Chain A
Amino acid sequence: MQPRSLETEELTDRLTTALLELDRNAARACFQHGALEPLAFSETVLAAALERIGDRWERGELALSQVYMSGRIAEDLLDDILPPQDLPVTSHPALAIAVLDDFHPLGKRIVSSVVRASGFRLTDYGLIGVDDLVQRARRDGIEILLISTLMYPAALRVRELRVRLDRDMPGTRLVVGGAPFRLHPNLWREVGADATSTTAAGVIPLLRRLIAEPS
Chain B
Amino acid sequence: MNEMTPLERVLCTLGHREPDRVPFFLLLTMHGARELGIGIREYYSTPELVVEGQLRLRKRYGHDCLYGFLYAALESEAWGGETAFRDDGPPNALAPCITDIRKIPHLEVPRITEAPGLKKVLEVLAGLKARAKGEVPIIGTVMSPFSLPVLQLGFERYLELIYREPELFCELMRLNTEFCVAWANAQLAAGATAICYFDPLSSPEMTPASDYPRLGGAVARATLSRIQGPTATHLASGRLGSILDEVAGTGTAALGVSSREDLSALKKSFSGRLAILGNLNGLEMCGWSPEQAAGEVRRALSAGAPGGGFILSDNHGEIPWQVPDRVLEAISETVRRWGRYPIAPEVLPDA
**Smallest distance from the beta carbon of B50 to chain A beta carbons, Å?**
20
Beyond A152-B320, A153-B321, A183-B315, 6 additional contacts (C-beta under 8 Å) are A60-B204, A65-B207, A66-B208, A68-B156, A104-B154, A183-B260
Listed A/B pairs (19) with beta-carbon separation below 8 Å: A57-B205, A63-B205, A63-B209, A63-B211, A65-B163, A68-B159, A72-B160, A103-B84, A103-B92, A103-B93, A103-B94, A104-B155, A151-B90, A153-B88, A153-B89, A156-B88, A183-B283, A184-B281, A186-B284
Q: Assess whether A26 is interfacial by the CB under 8 Å rule.
A: no
Q: Measured between alpha carbons, how far is A185 from B336 in the docked complex, in Å?
A: 29
A69 CB within 8 Å of chain B: yes
Q: 5 smallest A-B Cβ distances: which pairs?
A: A153-B89, A184-B283, A106-B155, A63-B208, A65-B207
**Chain B residues within CB distance 8 Å of chain A:** 84, 86, 88-90, 92-95, 154-156, 159-160, 162-163, 204-209, 211, 237, 239, 241, 259-260, 281, 283-284, 286-287, 315, 320-322
Measured between alpha carbons, how far is A41 from B204 in the docked complex, in Å?
31
CB distance from B266 to the nearest CB of A (A): 15
Across the interface, which residues of B come within 8 angstroms of A186, CB to CB?
Answer: 284
Chain A residues within CB distance 8 Å of chain B = 22, 57, 60, 62-66, 68-69, 72, 102-106, 109, 151-154, 156, 179-180, 183-184, 186-187, 190
A64 to B92, CA, bound (A): 21
Residue of A nearest to B150 (CB): A104
Contacts of B209 in A (CB 8 A): 63
- Give Cα A109–Cα B315 distance, bound, in whole angstroms: 27
Are the CB atoms of A183 and B281 closer together than 8 Å?
A: yes
Q: Which residues of B contact A106 (CB under 8 A)?
A: 155-156, 159
Which residues of B lie under 8 Å from residue A180 when comparing CB positions? 283
Name the one of A103, A154, A190 contacting B287, with C-beta atoms under 8 angstroms.
A190
Give the chain A neighbours of B287 by CB distance below 8 A. 190
Q: CB distance A63 to B206 under 8 Å?
A: yes
Do residues B281 and A179 form an inter-chain contact, with CB atoms below 8 A?
A: no
Q: Which residues of A contact B89 (CB under 8 A)?
A: 151-154
Min Cβ gap A76→B in Å is: 12
The answer to whether residues A179 and B237 also contact, given A22-B163, A152-B320, A190-B287 and a CB cut-off of 8 A, is yes
Q: How far is the CB of A33 from chain B (nearest CB, A)?
A: 25
Shortest Cβ gap from B284 to chain A (Å): 5
Cβ–Cβ < 8 Å partners of A151 in chain B: 89-90, 92
- Once bound together, how far apart are the Cα atoms of A1 and B287, in whole Å? 65
Write the nearest CB–CB distance from B159 to chain A, whole angstroms: 5
Contact A109 B156 (CB under 8 A): yes
Complex interface: chain B residues within 8 A of A109 (CB): 156
* Bound-complex Cα distance A65 to B281 (A): 24
CA distance A103 to B163 in the complex (A): 23
- Bound-complex Cα distance A109 to B159 (A): 13
How long is the Cα–Cα vector from A187 to B283 in the complex, in angstroms?
9
Given contacts A183-B259, A190-B287, contact A156 B322 (CB under 8 A): yes
Which A residues are in CB contact (< 8 Å) with B156?
A: 68, 105-106, 109
Contact, CB under 8 Å: A60 / B84: no
State A195–B155 Cα separation when bound (angstroms). 26
Q: How far is the CA of A179 from the CA of B45 in the complex (A)?
A: 29
Question: Which residues of chain B are near A66, meaning CB under 8 Å?
Answer: 208
Which residues does chain A contribute within 8 Å of B241, judged by CB atoms? 60
Q: Which residues of B contact A183 (CB under 8 A)?
A: 237, 259-260, 281, 283-284, 315
Q: How far is the CA of A129 from the CA of B194 in the complex (A)?
A: 39
Closest chain A residue, CB of each to CB of B320: A152
> Shortest CB–CB separation between residue B243 and chain A, in angstroms?
11
Complex Cα distance A68/B155, Å?
A: 10
- Closest Cβ of chain A to B155, distance in Å, is 4
User: Smallest CB-CB separation from B88: which chain A residue?
Assistant: A153
Q: How far is the CA of A21 from the CA of B328 in the complex (A)?
A: 46
Partner of B204, one of A22, A63, A153, A187: A63
Closest-CB distance, B114 to chain A (whole angstroms): 26
- With both chains docked as a complex, state the minimum distance between the C-beta of A161 and any C-beta of chain B, in angstroms: 15
Q: Which chain A residues border B90 with CB–CB below 8 Å? A: 151
